[in-house]
Structure 1
Amino acid sequence: MASDGMSNVGNEEEPNDNDKYNPKLDFFSEEFDPLLALKTPNLVVPVSNATTHDNLQKFKSVVEGKRQENTSKVAEISTEVSIERRWLPHQLPIQVKRKTISKNVLSKMETVVGPLQLLKTCKDNQHRIKVWTRHSHGIRGFCIGYIAAFDKHWNLALEDVEEVWTRPKRRKVPALNSAKADLKIQPKVLPPPVTIVKSTKKTETCSRHVSQLLLRGEHIAYIVVIPDETKS
């Protein structure tokens, strides 16, 4: 019995392999091995609610007392610094109030100066003008009417216009509204009727009345103001 008791006591004093102290599994030891601690099952963590960090670098910075700032704030600061370095104070854009004055043909006609001032006078006082027009190789004819509008390029909008021009007598295509014209498809809007005033061997002088006419400045040769007493 004594021997059995001595044997039992000896078995109780034998240390278990799991109860052996391992400095690599001691969290407060300098020889602590985190990889071995992760692989060891049923290892009790001394502080269960400890903060988890993404990497060792962040853990070291926390231990050393160097808190990293928020990445968003760092990004904002970096962008602001880059803008300040890229642009100097005198190079930044300046806000200027835009002019609200609307410039069009009607407003420019009121402030025109120089030779165009005569056209404005004729428009305001309803004076008739005589405009000689040209083509590629000479004078084509003339137009008599009232000025409705004009611009700096001498483009004229005329009203109540009497147009007279000269054209070749022999043409391959007959003019519209003439006795020789034979059109299979009649247009919906016909041009004003043309009257032959004078006819020679090679040319004929035509005349027509147009309610509204637009003359381009490049087709105008010269302009004459008709006195008031010659109004018909």
Structure 2
Amino acid sequence: MASKETSNVSEEEKSEKNTNYNPKLDFFSEQFDPLLALRTPNVAIPIPEAKTYDNIHIFKSVLEGKPQAPAKSKKTEVPQTAPIERRWLPHQLPIQTKRKTFHKNIFTKMESAVGPLQFLKTCKDKRHRIKIWTRHSHDIRGYCLAYVVAFDKHWNLALEDVDEVWTRPKKRKIPALDSASKRGFRPKVLPPPITVIQTTKKTETCSRHVSQLLLRGEHIAYIVVIPDVKKE
């Protein structure tokens, strides 16, 4: 009876093995799939003690009996007690400078004006009347008597209540603005009237009053403050 039972068990195990057999998981089969073997759990490896290699080229060289390079010995790392710091030379050290203050608009810039620009700030705050000599390409053109309203670092001036006096030649290639009406030209904004103060053989001195004037810094030659003369 016992022999019959053992024979029945062995036949059942064989039938189970035959039903669970997959040629793609058989290491000795031509249909072996290594990726499927890696993904399938509990796959029995024929030689568990076999040496592993980093890549297929080393494995191929071992099969062909080629000599291999000796493995590099790992150096023991010495623990660092202090953090690594870069050693700078004296001329490589950063230079400490003052941070520049950026102004949002021209009004805040005028409040922090220093040097020669502080002179304009004083004239603006104390309402001093100034005299500005203007120039052209080769000589002094004339002067302006006015009050400063605003200025910037380029010495561009916004003036008000301006009395302008300048000298111009009598014979001009380009006609002046006061002769525009003689040519039948009617501008939308009429310029202030010009009065001739003095004439010579070649030049004439003119004057006019302008309520507001923007004078560029490149046209300024000299600025002085006119002292207030109080009448007794």
Q: 1:152 to 1:102 in 2, by over 3 A?
A: closer
Change (3 A) 1:227 1:216: same
Match of 1:217 in 2: 217
> Residue type of the partner of 2:203?
T
More helix by share: 1
- The 5-angstrom pairing of residues 48-67 of structure 1 reads 56=33, 58-63=35-40
Give the 3 Å change call, closer, same or farther, for CA 136–59 of structure 1 in structure 2. same
Q: Secondary structure at the match of 1:192?
A: coil
Conserved? CA contact 2:171–2:202, under 8 Å:
yes
Residue 177 of structure 1 aligns to a residue whose secondary structure is: helix
Match of residue 150 from structure 2? 149
Q: Distance in 1 between matches of 2:184 and 2:42?
A: 99
Cα offset for 1:57? Answer: 5.0
SS of corresponding position for 2:39: helix
1:27 alignment partner in structure 2: 22
Change (3 A) 1:139 1:59: same
The 1:61/1:172 distance shift into structure 2, 3 A limit, reads same
Stretches of structure 1 that go unaligned for 5 or more consecutive residues are 1-22, 35-55, 67-89, 91-98
Q: Distance in 2 between matches of 1:103 and 1:65?
A: 74
When the two structures are aligned, how many residues end up with a matched partner? 155
**In the alignment, what sits opposite 1:165?**
166
RMSD of the alignment, in Å? Answer: 3.1
1:50-99 Cα distance to aligned partner (Å, 9 max, x none) = xxxxxx55422213679xxxxxxxxxxxxxxxxxxxxxxx9xxxxxxxx9
- State the partner residue of 1:183: 183
**TM-score under structure 2 length normalisation:** 0.58
Paired letter, 1:173: I
- Aligned mates of 1:147, 1:65 — CA distance in 2: 94
Distance in 1, matches of 2:34 and 2:172, equals 97
**Partner SS for 2:189:** coil
Kindly indicate whether the alpha-carbon contact (under 8 Å) linking 1:166 and 1:204 is maintained by their aligned counterparts in 2: yes
1:134 equivalent to 2:135? Answer yes
Whole-Å separation in 2 of the counterparts to 1:148 and 1:58: 85
**Secondary structure of 1:136 counterpart:** coil
What are the ranges of 5 or more consecutive residues in structure 2 without an aligned counterpart? 1-17, 44-85, 87-99
Q: Distance in 1 between the 2:42 and 2:163 partners? A: 98
- 2:190 is aligned with what amino acid? L
Report how far residue 103 of structure 1 moved: 3.0
Identity percentage of aligned residues? 63
SS at match of 2:108: helix
Cα distance change on mapping 1:230 and 1:164 into 2, 3 Å: farther
Show the counterpart of 1:202. Answer: 202
Equivalence for 1:119? 120
**Cα–Cα, structure 1 residues 110 and 172, in superposed 2: closer, same or farther, change >3 Å?**
same
Give the deviation of 1:230 after TM superposition: 6.3
The Cα shift of 1:32 comes to 6.5
Q: Cα gap change, 1:57/1:208 in structure 2, threshold over 3 Å: closer, same or farther?
A: farther
Is contact 2:103–2:109 with CA below 8 Å preserved after alignment?
A: no
Is the 8 Å Cα contact of residues 175 and 181 (structure 1) preserved in structure 2?
no
Query: Cα–Cα, structure 1 residues 212 and 58, in superposed 2: closer, same or farther, change >3 Å?
Result: farther
